[in-house]
Amino acid sequence: MPFLEPDPPDSCIQVMDGAEAGHLHTRVIVLGTALMLAMAWAGGGCKLGQQPNLRNDLDAMPTVNIQINGHTFHVWLATTDTERERGLMQVPAEKLAPLPPDPDDGLPDGAERGMLFVFENDRLLGFWMYNTIIPLDIAYLRHDGTIVTTYTMAPLETRTYPSIEPARFALEVRAGLFEKLGIGPGDHVEIPKAVLKSTP
């Protein structure tokens, strides 16, 4: 999906899909994320990182455990447009701190937090760090869970981090974790079958 700077909108954030853009005389932002290519315009009175109410209710989101190279991640599932657009906006660092062991939830000592963004099918995705106040690692995954691209993203950064290849999932965790755990392109993420078969 291409990312192009649109003509300035009337509101702070504009999110359009390809179908909507086809009916408008403007250039397009096609989004993949929550954090997913929303656009903030200083002329409209918005400043990066200044929208504390634009965030997900993490306690209301479903969670699952996933595995990468023997490491457990307890992740929130972002499956709706709103959840994907907001992602980890305004989430403080302590929310992504390692979790204590919990046998009832299948969590070993040192399990990590994260968010898994789920899309209908493989597509070109692009995320940025609008309104996101902590650094994050991101991994783009194919439909079979194979990692195709990873990045470390700086807070509030306005550059776009593209998937390069089509991907169905994006996984965000605290910054530096992928390097620390030796996780990178080609590694396989074990995702529950119910999530793999789901259609947002």
Rounded Cα distance, 12 and 5, in Å: 14
| Options 3.40.220.10, 3.40.50.880, 2.60.120.1140, 1.10.150.120; CATH of 58-196 | 2.60.120.1140
| Domain boundary assignment for the chain | 58-196
What is the tens place of the pLDDT at every residue in 156-178?
998 999 999 999 999 999 999 99
What is the tens place of the pLDDT at every residue in 44-76?
444 545 588 899 999 999 999 999 999 999 999
pLDDT reported for residue 81: 96
Rounded Cα distance, 81 and 120, in Å: 11
What is the tens place of the pLDDT at every residue in 83-120?
999 999 999 999 999 999 888 888 888 899 999 999 99
* Terminal-to-terminal C-alpha distance of the chain: 18
Average pLDDT over the chain, rounded to an integer: 80
